[in-house]
Amino acid sequence: MTGLKPEQAPSVSESGSLSLELLYRRHFNWLMRAVRHRFGRDQAEDLVQETYARVAASQGVAVRNPKAFLMQVATRVAIDQERRRAVRSNVSMTSCGTPDVVDEAAQAELLLLKQVILGLPVQLRETFLLSRGAGLTYEEIAAREGVALKTIEWRMSKALKLCAKALATQDGF
């Protein structure tokens, strides 16, 4: 992807939706900057390339907010890449016969956190995941959900309180 300019975008279009070419031309530079800022310079080019590959594979999806959509896809790509690295690392550790106690404790914490998040009411869970998982701002979430900014702020506050209470209960506090 090195040196690829917006003028070299693949020409894939569809009726009634934002074409991949137009999406690329309008948002490539913004996405590259955002991904560099969020995930680091080393991963940026690969993440952006894989983001557009996934977007091309998902043609037909209605996109109301292209920047939020692209950032969400890029975030998911980064998460998937990190999961693959963790699996490879875990496999290499077990093949060496050296158990990693820290990883087991971290995995237990992540499992508990996942259970707590999945236990949230649907609207609170969606707002929480869009904010913390996809990295969207409250304003972006409000626009996406079609609700007031104060509603999103309330949902996040409520979600965080419920998470803290559930985690404190699980830890025996």
For the stretch 96-115, pLDDT in tens is 555 555 567 677 777 887 88
Exposure string over 85-110, b if 16+ CB within 10 A, otherwise e = eeeeeeeeeeeeeeeeeeeeeeeeee
Give the count of domains, the chain.
2
For the stretch 49-85, pLDDT in tens is 988 888 887 766 777 888 998 998 999 888 888 887 7
Q: How far is CA 142 from the centre of its chain?
A: 17
CATH label of the domain that carries residue 129: 1.10.10.10
Range of the domain at 165: 100-173
For residue 11, name the pLDDT band (cuts at 50, 70, 90). Answer: very low
CA-based max dimension of the chain: 58
Last residue of a domain, one of 33, 64, 99: 99
Please report how the helices 66-96 and 20-39 are oriented relative to each other, as an axis angle in degrees rounded to 10.
Answer: 50
Mean pLDDT of the chain: 78
Please tell me whether residues 60 and 136 are part of one structural domain: no
pLDDT of residue 30: 94
Mean pLDDT in residue range 7-19: 44
For the stretch 124-164, pLDDT in tens is 988 888 888 888 889 989 998 899 999 999 999 998 888 88
For residue 170, name the pLDDT band (cuts at 50, 70, 90). Answer: low
Helix (H) or strand (E) holding 114: helix 101-118
Q: What percent of the chain has pLDDT over 90?
A: 14
DSSP result, 30-41: HHHHHHHHHH-H
Please tell me whether residues 80 and 112 are part of one structural domain: no
Residue 99 to residue 86: CA distance in whole angstroms: 14
Torsion over CA: 94, 96, 101, 102 (sign): negative
Q: Nearest 5°: CA angle at 49, between 82 and 141?
A: 70
Please tell me whether residues 107 and 86 are part of one structural domain: no
Please tell me whether residues 71 and 91 are part of one structural domain: yes
